[in-house]
Each structure stands twice: as structure tokens, then as C-alpha cells.
Structure 1
């Protein structure tokens, strides 16, 4: 039978669950489960056919947006001799220590969604955040005609998505020298933090902000809430985000913002297939994501990196995407 645990914090060793000897035990250490995107990612992991059929035992750890918590959770998984670990790190540098410890214990680590600066990673299944950062900013810049003023809402400083998406943002902004960055600050992927920042910026830059580059949907939605709370029209701003979470899909449908879908299901299920291939001989992938993305071949699960494509959300696909959230 499948056994799933959401571990909030491992300050002491957890009691190892009893599992059949021939069933691999794989842990998923994710940076945090407060926001919808990682909830979608985690749910997709639990919906993987191998999990549903009881062929693997999955433990999901909530890292609570804290690198130290994630390090402690790795120590727990090492102590309990997990067969493999799927890692979604909060910090690109700090996470390397955890990967090194697992590698020394002979436990393969498969990265997913966010990156860690380590050459000991077994493989990585995620998406090109530089590309999404460029696409995000380019949309906003096109909407404002490559002129005017923008603000940038960044992810947690030091996380790979923040670093890479900002790089992509700057590539796009370099193509529009007449656009000024009025403000640039982290809102930690949080809708509430982004709303507070945007409220302050609307006051300090009254009538000056033309575009909002939100490095994720939660922050873009927070900016929209601030705009409405100030009695302003969202139509007067170009707002965009990344992830394709449910509220963002609704906002795209309503014409309030743009979004780029990050396929959490493909990232999570792809990472589990790769992790299983690392611990089981002659494993064939069980998720259908490998047939959905024909330009991402399986290659026996042996590639160092698997890049899941981005999908811009538009009028043609938004209803179908919303239908998947029912």
C-alpha cells in the first residue's frame, strides 16, 4: 500500500516506516508547500502510476522555505537509508551540502524544478528559467511598446529560479533601452508580500508604473490586488507572471495578466521516473509525460538533464488548462 508523509520539520530522526523490502523508498525534499504551484507538483508526484500501484513508497518533506530545514530532512533520509531523493532546493548554494551528504551515503539525488550548484546531482528534471524570464519580460515590454517604466517582483534571493529568471528579465530589458526599472525587490513568491510592495510602489511612483514583471504568478496576482485596492484600473498596467496556477489562469481568461505555464506534473513525475531508473534495473517510465513531450526523449533515464518546455497561456488553451484543475 502507498504510504505518504508530509514532514514539516525533521529536527530529530523520524521513525522509519515499514515498507516491503522490494519497494524502493524515495523522499521528495521540496522547498515549501504553502503556495499552489508546489502543491500541484506534490499532488502530481503522488498521482504517478508507480505510486498508485504501490511500486514505490514516497515521502514528501516540506522544507518550509528554509535551507537548514532541508539539510535536516536530508540527514533523516540518509539515516533511514532511503533509496533515492528528489530535491527541490530553496537555495542554489546551500543545497549543495545536502547533495554531497547523500552522495557520500550512496543515495542518488534527482533535482527538479529548482537547481542546486552541485556536480554530484544524478540528474535534473525541470525547465529553463532563463528562457521563462525572457518570455515574461518580453510580454510586458511588448505591451508597453518598449517605452516607460516597470517594476520587478523577484523570487527568494539565492534560489535558482530567481537568479535565472532575473537573467532572462535583463536580457529582454536590454532590448528596450528606453524602459526604466523603477523598483526591483523580492516578494519571496508570496502574493501577500507582493501586494504590500506594490501598494508602496504605487504610492511612491504615483502614475509612473506601466508594467509589472512578476517572476511568478502569486506575485503578479498580488500586484493586481494592490492595483485594484488603490482604485486603479488593471487595464492601465501590463502584468505578467509564471507558473499557470489556477487564479492566474482565471486572470488570463479575464484579460488581467499574462502567464507562462510551468508543467509541475511533468517535472514531478519525470523526476520520479528518473529516480526509479537510478535504483531499479531495466526500469521503463510509467508516466505518460514522456509521450506528451516528444522532444524530451527518455534515453533510459540516463541523461544529466531533462528540460520540460514552457507553454504560454493564451485564449486558445486557457479553458483546457482550467479544466485540468477541476
Structure 2
């Protein structure tokens, strides 16, 4: 089987805080007024992505991994993760503030949930005027100070707010308290994990009138209480060049702006490659075929690929590998 560049059907998720930008800005097939997430590439059980283009249309990502593990993922990726797809790719539209939350590290997630932890990064694609994100604390706090702020309803006073605009990028390591603010549309790259500890939700109620579950006690031992300035990602933006953004043990992400054809020799990569189009339109061509992606679309290129050519005149891409 020739594993050509694969596109997948988006898995749309309604959220209390969601809006219509995934449909209006990125063209997702949503009829809902509260679509918060588009899962672009997922190996999460119950939400497995399905191919949407070419002769493999309708085939699940998991079946492809089972049938062609090393060809699709790469030998080193299979050695580390077996036949599990190791990252989850999303677009997120926050019409309202998301809950304030954090994610456990690998050890704690394994012990409590038999899951990976959840390290992630955000690339801001669009932001309303004065939109912001919460990332970390604005000072060092103790566990006792934090717990008291929950009792006193003063947690928001301890948090660090970052104003954002298109292109801003943030790395969210495990244990860091965070939230996406209202008016932000972003691309998210994360470990394959759906483990989230929600610690404050602005006292919102769901459509049945219930408060959403909080994970106050579990979060206490998972949280980093130190003020750290390690989350803003500075990266070069040289056109037709692979610009490093994030290089962590769980994924590597590069920024590529295409103004003319760019060909990469990737024989030694030993990893699949994902392209998230965050602006414009580009054609992704390999020895096995090609696919066109526009802003808000994603394509998966197999590890068995030798050369990748990116063709376009006005495109911005996030390139993700392991």
C-alpha cells in the first residue's frame, strides 16, 4: 500500500464555552453555535480519526497503524509508543473563557488513570481585541495559599494573564495552571491524553443546570506552584525555511511560511510528519501522491516518505514530528 498524504474527517466537539469560528473562519462542517473543538488527528479510543481522501477514505487511523505500524509511524515511534498514536491535534474556538485547569505528568497520569500525561502547545490563529490566556501564577504561591484562594474565591488574583495576537505561541508543560480566554482561536498540539484537572469554572452550569465537576484534590499534588517564565515560544519566521518552535520529548514543531516551492529530504526522520495549515493554502506532495490543505486543515505524511514538497505562494504551516 502506498501511504499518500492523508487527510482526516474532523471530529467536532460541542463545549459550553465554544462558538462558531471553527465553522465561520476554518470552514468546519458544524451546525452548532457552541462548537469548541475540532479534533483533526486523534487516536483517542472512542474518537479515532477516519481518512477523508483517496482510496483509503473511511479507514480508521487505528487500522492503518495496526496494518502498517512502522511504515506509518516510524520504527522509533513504534518502539516508544507501540501501536498508539502519540499525539492529538486540535483546533479550538473559545467564545467564552475555558475552565482553569492543569494536566498531570506522565508518572501521575499512569498511576491514577493508566494514561499519558498531557504536555501541549498553542499557536494563536485569531484573537479578538483584548483577548488573553492564563498561563501560570503571577508569583510563587504555596499549596496553602492556593487552597485558601479557592475557598475565598480569589484564585483569579493569583494568575498570570497574557494578551495575545495571531502567531503568538505558548508551551504548556504538565503541572502548569492555564486557561484559554474568550475570543481566541488556536491550534493545539498535545500528547494523546484526555486527562484534565479542572480547578475553577466561573460557577458555570451545563444545559441541565449542573455545575461541572471540579478536581480540586487531585490537582493539589499535580500542580507547579512556582512562577515561571518558560512558556512563551520565540521562534524565527524566515520564509521557505524550517523554523524551530518547540522541541520537547513528546513532539517537535516547526513553523514554515511558504512563498515558493520547498522540498525536504526526510529519509532519516523515522517519524510521521503532520502539517497543520494555519494560513493560506498549500499542496503537500510525496512519492506516493499529494493533498491540498487550506487554513484549518491537517494532513498526515507517513514515515516511509523520502521527500516532501510543499507548493504554494502564501501559506503558513505548523510541521509536527516525534
Structure richer in strand, relative to its length:
2
| TM-score greater than 0.5 by the shorter chain | no
TM-score, normalization: structure 1? 0.25
TM-score, normalization: structure 2? 0.25
| Structure with more contact order per residue of length (Cα contacts < 8 Å, sep ≥ 6) | 2
